[in-house]
Amino acid sequence: MKTAMQARPGTVLRINGELLLVVKHEMRRGGRGATNVMMRLKNLIQGNNSDRVMDSEEKYEDVTLERSKAEFLYKLTDTFAFMNQDTYETVELHEDDVGDAAMYLIEGLVIDLQTFEGKFIGIMLPLRVTLKVVEAEPSVAGNTADGKIDKLVKLETGLELRVPGFVNQDESIVINTETGEYLERAK
């Protein structure tokens, strides 16, 4: 059991029989020492988000998801194929199960498959992925000094992203998978 104050982003709680992932956690101190916790929770089964304010000492069942490493192999129409790193079995997931993570999947990327009591819950991507720019406007001389000029590029997975003006086509860049933002050029 965990109290609402002990929960952190990434913690999975069972509330009223639902599996909820803590996405955002914020403590708010009120008058006379009362502390409330504001949490944004993502329902892992249905996929919707909700905001809740709870007493800091409310107790919830802490849930541990089973995780297994899997390598992304290929996409065929609306099916994504992964190879379990422990059993070498091929796991096929529908594009609805993969969701937005599909925009970061490249061949050979190792991810975590999450399950609970044998049921697929979701995919955990690495925090950073390196993707190649396949379409970009050419850089203009003089726009690189302050770094405030940005442009829209298209990456190998189809993801479109705003990046600094000095990024060119055929370069590889590093992206934060949580925020979907450009981090740096790949080294």
Report the pLDDT value the prediction gives residue 42, as an integer from 0 to 100. 82
Residues 83 and 111 both lie in one domain: yes
pLDDT level of residue 85 (50, 70, 90 thresholds): very high
In the three-class reduction of DSSP (H, G, I as helix; E, B as strand; rest coil), residue 166 is classed as: coil
Q: Quick one: which H or E segment has residue 2?
A: strand 2-3
Mark which of 107, 124, 141 sits at the end of a domain: 124
Residue 171: its pLDDT value, please? 93
Work out the percent of the chain whose per-residue pLDDT is above 90.
Answer: 32
Number of domains in the chain: 3
143 has a pLDDT exceeding 80 = no
Nearest in space to 135 (alpha carbons), one of 111, 152, 150, 118: 152
Q: Using 50, 70 and 90 to split pLDDT, how confident is the model at 137?
A: confident
Same domain, 132 and 102: no
The residue-averaged pLDDT of 42-59 equals 81
- Indicate the residue among 106, 124, 142 that finishes a domain: 124
Q: What percent of the chain has a predicted confidence (pLDDT) above 70?
A: 95
Residue 8 sits in a domain whose CATH number is 2.30.30.30
Identify whether residues 55 and 79 lie together within a single domain.
no
Count H helices, E strands: the chain?
1, 16
**Do 80 and 100 reside in the same domain of the chain?**
yes
Tokens at 89, concatenated: 């079995």
Q: Of 39, 63, 87, which closes a domain?
A: 63
What's the pLDDT at 160?
A: 92
The residue among 82 and 22 whose pLDDT is bigger is: 82
Tell me how far the alpha carbon of residue 135 is from its chain's centroid.
Answer: 24
pLDDT bucket at 146, cuts 50 / 70 / 90: low
Supply the CATH number for residue 116's domain: 2.40.50.140
Domain span including residue 51: 2-63
Own/partner contacts of 149-156, CB < 8 Å, gap of 24 or more, are: 155/131, 156/106, 156/131, 156/132
Report the largest interatomic distance among the alpha carbons of the chain, rounded to a whole angstrom: 60
94 pLDDT higher than 70: yes
Q: What is the mean pLDDT of the chain?
A: 85
